[in-house]
Amino acid sequence: MDSARSWFHKFQPRDRVRPSARKKEGTGAEKEETIPTAGDETPSNVTKQKVAAAKQYIENHYKEQMKSLQERRERRNILEKKLADADVSEEDQNNLLKHLEKKETEYMRLQRHKMGADDFELLTMIGKGAFGEVRVCREKTTGNVYAMKKLKKSEMLRRGQVEHVKAERNLLAEVDSNCIVKLYCSFQDDEFLYLIMEYLPGGDMMTLLMRKDTLTEDEARFYVGETVLAIESIHKHNYIHRDIKPDNLLLDKYGHLRLSDFGLCKPLDCSTLEEKDFAIVNGPNGGHQGDPAAPKRTQQEQLQHWQKNRRMLAYSTVGTPDYIAPEVLLKKGYGMECDWWSLGAIMYEMLVGYPPFYSDDPMSTCRKVNLGIQLIQILVISLYYKFQVLGL
C-alpha cells in the first residue's frame, strides 16, 4: 500500500507558488521571478489561421451534410408523388423505393471514399499554365470523364499564390450555379494539388472567335447574357473574378456558356490589388514601357494583326491586359465593376473582331486602357451595342 501511495504522489500537482513568493538566490539582492500563466499566452497568427481554417472546414462539412440529407429527402418525396399518381401496385412501389435507397447508400459510400490521382486515367492535355496543367481524365471505376487541374504546390508557394488557389477552391465549392464550371472533388499529394472539375467538350470562346472572326449581334447577345448570369452568380457570394476573358468562357456540348479559371478571384473584402498580381504593367524600372507611338492601322489591318497573334497570346503564361480594367492595372482600389469592364471588352471583340485597346505589345495596351474608352472606334455595330459597350 505504501509503495502504491508513493507512486500516486508522483502524479500529484505541485503546490502553486505565487510569483511574489519565489526568490532567486546567490545574487545578494533578492529578485522576484515571474512565472507566466496560461492567461498571458497569446496565440500566434499561424495558430489563429489554423483555428479559422478548422472552423471553416467543420462548418462547410456539416453544411454539406445537411444539404445532402435535404436533397435525399426531396428525391424520395418526388418519387413517392410520381408513384402515387401512376398506376403501380403497392409491391412495385415498395421495390422502387428500396432500389432508390440502395442507390442512395451506394452514392454515400462513394462520397466517403478518399480519392487520389491513381483513381483517374489521364487523357489529353487541354491547358497549361504557370503553376500546372489541365487534362481530360477518366475515372477508372465509373468511366466518367472529367477535367483534372493539376497544380504544383512548390511553385504556388514560391510565387505566393496559395491564397488565390484557396479562394478558387472555396468559390467552386460554395457557388452552386449552372453558369460556372462545377467542382466535383479536390485532393493532394506531396507534390501536387488536384481539382477534379466538369469537362466541357465545346471548347472556349477564344476558339469560337478564332473560327468565326466575329459573331452576329444575336449570337453576341446570347453569350453576353449568359456571361452576365455567370458573373452575377459569383458576385452574389462576394467574389470578384478579375480575369474575365474569352479563354475562360467555356462551352458545353449544347453551346451554353460556363465561366471557369478562378485562379485570380478574391473575396470582395480582400480586393485590394497586391503588387505581384498584375506585374505585367511595370517594366524592370517600375515605369510604363513600350513604343510611344503605336502604328496606325485600318480596322481590317487591325483585325488581321490580331488574328495572327491571338493564338500565340492564348498560350502565353504571362497574360494579356486587353481585358483588364484600368483601376486594376493602376493598382488602385476596385470592386465588382472590374469584371463588367472585362465583359465590355469581350463584347466589343465579339462584334468587331479584336479587343478595343489591342496594340503590338502589352505595355502599349496598358497605356491605351489607362487613357480610357474614348480611344475606341465604334464603326460597325448598331446604336444599341454602342451604348452597351460605352456603358460597360
Listed in sequence order, the DSSP H helices in 86-199 are: 90-112, 153-158, 162-174
What pTM was estimated for this model as a whole? 0.60
Q: Tell me the three cell numbers of residue 127.
A: 491547358
What was the pLDDT predicted at 172?
Answer: 83
Task: Say whether 243 is catalytic.
Answer: yes
Residue ranges and CATH numbers for the domains of the chain are 117-198 (3.30.200.20), 205-391 (1.10.510.10)
**Of 243, 247, 261, 322, catalytic:** 243
Residue 136 has pLDDT above 70, yes or no: yes
pLDDT (tens digit, 9 = 90+) per residue, 48-75? Answer: 878 887 888 788 878 888 888 888 888 8
Question: Is pLDDT of 262 > 80?
Answer: yes
What's the pLDDT at 285?
A: 36
* Distance between CA atoms of residues 20 and 17, nearest Å: 8
Residue 319 — pLDDT band, cuts 50, 70, 90? low
| 149 marked as part of a ligand binding site | yes
* Residue 24 predicted with pLDDT over 60: no
Grid cell locating 12: 500529484
Range among 89-103, 154-168, 222-236 with highest mean pLDDT value: 222-236
Confidence at 279, pLDDT banded by 50, 70, 90 = very low
Give the pLDDT confidence score for residue 284 in this predicted structure.
34
pLDDT on residue 255: 92
What are residue 267's DSSP bridge partners?
Answer: 239
Q: Give pLDDT, residue 373.
A: 52
Rounded Cα distance between 280 and 161, Å, is 16
Contact 365, 281 (CB under 8 A): no
Which helix (H) or strand (E) segment holds residue 133: the answer is strand 132-139
Q: What is the pLDDT of residue 252?
A: 92
DSSP one-letter string for 169-231 = HHHHHH---TTBPPEEEEEE-SSEEEEEEE--TT-BHHHHHHHHSS--HHHHHHHHHHHHHHH
Beta bridge partners of residue 183, listed in sequence order:
197
pLDDT band at 147 (very low <50, low <70, confident <90, very high): very high
State how far the Cα of 336 lies from the Cα of 71, in Å rounded to an integer: 32
